[in-house]
Amino acid sequence: MDRNDVTWRGYWSAAVTPFTSTGAVDEQALRDVVTQSVGQGVHGICVNGSTGEWFSQTLSERRRVAEVVAEAVGGQTPTVVGVTATRVSDAVDLAKHAAQIGADSVIAAPPPLARPTYRELESYYSEIFDATDLPAWLYNFPQDNGHAISVDELVRLSAIPTVVAVKQSAPGIEELIATIEAVGSTLRVFGNMLSRLGAALIRSGFGGDGHFGSGMLLGAQMPAFFEATWKGDVAGAEEIAARYARLMDRIAGARPDGYNWAFGGMQSTLKAAMNVLGESGAIPASPSCRSTTPRTSPRSARSCARPGCCAPPRRPATRPVEQPLRQRRRRPPPD
């Protein structure tokens, strides 16, 4: 298999997994999230990825979450199931289950905490992906996973027969461009493409196929960015890209640790923003904590989600300069 065996492109949503206050999966909220995303025209959905908090779920919960999403999607858009696990046997079981429920593909990051050598990494991926006939994604997200897959290693791993795509989430645009250049002719390459640069790369023919984003905070505008890019609507694509950049600047902030967002953990901030927008974000599961920053909650997502909003931030009003207190006139000393 290679990139020509699939037609994947555009905006794919990494769906959240809503939880109840007791830590159980909120299946109805999960269905609502998926149904809304499909209705907004998403080009693909990922379940049990990093955004989906797979690390907070048991294996049985991960299987049930995948089943709920597959049922809700109903074949309307491609579904990819995250099968990352520290134990290879667990990842294999999850991959087999994904095939049984009719998923379109599986995706796996390196085994967390293991820090594998290349030989170990190749063995890990081969054992997982050889367990089914499903097309497979490599997933490089070192700031989350703790292990970076180099571009040279991606080239070598692309020889695994069922690998057809890579989700390149390493920080910095340089790594994405190098990945497109190295494997773009054989693999579908997804990365931070919802940007002016991403649109330019697609329009120029250099490459890049799509963007895997956390949720759908801009709703139908997110897949619309790619629709506009494909049909040559440069102004329309750039307007959405600018709005998305401002949104992420507000709710993600400077990311001093390279991963978490401005108001707490990535997942908790995303869910808080979804709840503000009236979506079924629910709450994160332990060890994630709710986003509780007072007064600076992700309410800016409400304005950013509407066309014409999310304008550049206004400069703060200049405070009037306080005049010094008039000194009292000294009385002349008595004679």
**CA–CA distance, 228 with 128 (Å, rounded to integer):** 37
Residue 180 φ/ψ, nearest 5 degrees: -60, -45
**CA–CA distance, 42 with 48 (Å, rounded to integer):** 17
Quick check: is 139 catalytic? yes
Rg, Å, the chain Cα set:
23
The residue from 11, 125, 167, 271 that is catalytic is 167
- Give the bridge partners for 80, in sequence order: 46, 105
**CA–CA distance, 68 with 25 (Å, rounded to integer):** 11
Of the candidates 249, 301, 290, the residue with the CA atom closest to the CA atom of residue 268: 290
Strands (E), the chain: 10-14, 44-47, 79-82, 105-108, 136-140, 163-168, 188-190, 210-214
Torsion of CA 141, 145, 151, 156, to 10 degrees: -120
The residue from 11, 139, 244, 271 that is catalytic is 139
In contact, 198 and 208? CB cutoff 8 Å: yes
Place of tokens 């206004």: 314
The pair of structure tokens assigned to 286 is: 């332990």
Quick check: is 125 catalytic? no
In contact, 80 and 136? CB cutoff 8 Å: no
**Annotated active-site positions, please?**
139, 167
